[in-house]
Amino acid sequence: MPFPFALPTTSSVLLSDCFESATHPSLPLAATTKRSVLKDALKKHKRLSQRQRAAHLPTVKNAVTEYIPYLLAINAAAGLGNVGVERLDLGVKRLVQVEWRTTLSATLPGREPPRPLLVGLHHEIAFTLSTLAYVHSLLARTQLRTLFEATVASADQRTSAISAAMKHLLEANSIHNYLLSLLSVSAAKDAPIDIQPSTISGLASLALAEATLIVVSKDDPYAAAVAEDKNESNTDWMFKAPSIPKVRAHLFARICLASAEHATQAQGLLGRSGSTAGKIDEDLVKYATNLRRTARGKAARFLGIDAELSGKTGEGLAWLQGAKKELGLAVELEDGQRKGFRGLKHSWQERREDKKVEKSGEWGMDAGKLEEARVVEMLEAKWDKENSTINVQLVPTYEPLLAGMPSGREYHTPQPYIPPSVDAETLARMRTPPDPIEEAALRRDEDDSGDEAGYGARTGAPVGPFPGTGGDYARSGTSDSYY
């Protein structure tokens, strides 16, 4: 949590071959330069290890942010002829043809996702802004990872990490909504599944669901208690039950239900598959499903806490049973431990998830479902012991309780995304002709981020020879042997 998006890579393209400007002749070349920096950053990011990618994310974010003003300036000039208050004469020499790797498309195991040829500037805008949204989601993952590490974070550290992650997720939601507001993007019929309107809308709902759900994590002492109990270096053997005011427990439940509603919407939108656009990766659809389960499980757990604080321990236990049902953890407990084959399976999955966190792997694909299951089982074991020895209340069935859950309550008010723009001074400098040396450098045959088949596949030379000695390894005209 959040979803570990894979950043796409892109091919080389010279925007100066596609556009020309009589008033600002340096604009297409400046945009090409910024795009080349972004292409190289994405290519380098893909080749890094999982542990190194987190530190490289700010570099990718800066590259995308610096390219967007020039890209949107060209788009505005090509459509209306104005960039802000300044008139810009821009002519189209030919349509933009670019390749972007579709990282959200379902592919066969072991194969790279396809990188189709896209025609039109609107596809370039959609993939560029989507990449920025993915980066914000990954930055949120980086912040939240500190909450799942072996070292227990302090209250101030938890608050700081969750607040930063929340800002990144809300920014990702705003970027996706901004993309939907662009008619050229929302009305595109030939777009890949990654930038289809249904996919963008689903990703916007997913980011808002994640941002809403982590609101309660900041003030949820039960999750922190489980993380502390899981820490092997913890020497505290006595556990004092944390306390939550009654009103806040009910409020947290409604916030979780609002998150579940957004996750349900994301699940429905991402689950669609078009015959021509392709199909979304099953891992993303499964993540949206797990996020909905986690949100509803948290809501049931907080409603159980609200009942237990009112002295209704039996009803609280019923809510916890409902929470396990929502989480898909319908197993019985024996002395606070799971039993049965499904119990062993869930325990194995939790240990596997802990190892992924330690090794900086693709943790969090369950959207926090296993962590929430630990909290529910901890409370159930504690309350069941109290109810068996002190209160002795009947535990009602949980089905009527789940059917009577309250409505969700929104916490965030998403703000519209305001893309960066080229300032007036920079735009004025682009009235000068472009530098021929810089233009010639960009026209050189540079490595493409999609050339992953090796040196021999790019040049036609056999693998192994030093540059310039390919002729020494060529086949003879009368033999089929290299020797």
Tell me, rounded to whole angstroms, the distance of Cα 88 from its chain centroid. Answer: 36
Whether residue 476 lies inside any domain: the answer is no
Beta strands in 256-377 (DSSP E): 333-334, 337-338
Residue type, 373: A
pLDDT of residue 233: 53
pLDDT at 106: 82
Residue 89 clears pLDDT 80, i.e. is over it: yes
Whether 294 maps to a domain, the answer reads yes
To the nearest whole percent, how much of the chain has pLDDT over 90? 43
pLDDT over 70 percentage in the chain:
76
Side-chain-side CA neighbours of residue 159 (13 Å): 4
- Antiparallel, parallel or unpaired: β 117-119 and 97-99: antiparallel
Which two structure tokens, joined as six digits, stand for 359?
Answer: 């090794």
The Cα angle at residue 439 between residues 96 and 9, in degrees rounded to 5? 45
At residue 329, the pLDDT reads 77
Nearest to 319 by CA among 395, 385, 375: 395
- Taking only the tens place, the pLDDT of each residue in 283-304 is 999 999 999 999 999 999 999 9
What pLDDT, on a 0 to 100 scale, did the predictor assign at position 341? 44
Q: Is 8 helix (H, G, I), strand (E, B) or coil?
A: coil
Per the domain annotation, does 292 fall within a domain?
A: yes
Which of 39-48, 141-150, 222-231, 442-451 has the lowest average pLDDT?
442-451
- pLDDT reported for residue 238: 47
Let me know if residue 437 belongs to a domain: no
**How many angstroms separate the Cα of 70 from the Cα of each of 73, 172, 481?**
5, 20, 53
> Does 7 reside within a domain?
no
Average pLDDT over residues 421-432: 87
pLDDT recorded at residue 110: 72
The confidence score (pLDDT) of residue 350 equals 55
In terms of Cα–Cα distance, which of 309, 1, 280, 279 is closest to 165?
A: 1
User: Is a pLDDT exceeding 90 seen at residue 268?
Assistant: yes
Q: Does a structural domain hold residue 380?
A: yes
Please give the average per-residue pLDDT across 325-351, as a whole number.
58
Residue 90: C-alpha distances to residues 66, 82, 182, 185, 483 (Å):
21, 9, 20, 21, 57
Residue-wise pLDDT for 158-207, tens only, equals: 888 899 999 999 999 999 999 999 988 888 878 899 999 999 999 999 99
Determine contact, residues 14/156, Cβ cutoff 8 Å.
Answer: no
Specify if 37 maps to a domain. yes
Specify the pTM. 0.85
Residues 130-140 have pLDDT tens digits of: 999 999 999 99
Q: How many domains does the chain have?
A: 1
Assigned token pair, 235: 């020497």
Q: What are the Cα distances from residue 430, in Å, to 25, 67, 70, 434, 474? A: 6, 15, 11, 8, 49
Domain containing 233 — which CATH number? Answer: 1.25.40.280
* For residues 231-242, average pLDDT: 52
What pLDDT shows up at residue 467? 53
Instruction: Identify the domain containing residue 261 by its residue range.
Output: 15-403
Task: State how far the Cα of 103 lies from the Cα of 450, in Å rounded to an integer.
Answer: 13
pLDDT of residue 243: 66
Query: How does residue 156 score in pLDDT terms, banded at 50, 70 and 90?
Result: confident
Q: Is residue 412 in some structural domain?
A: no
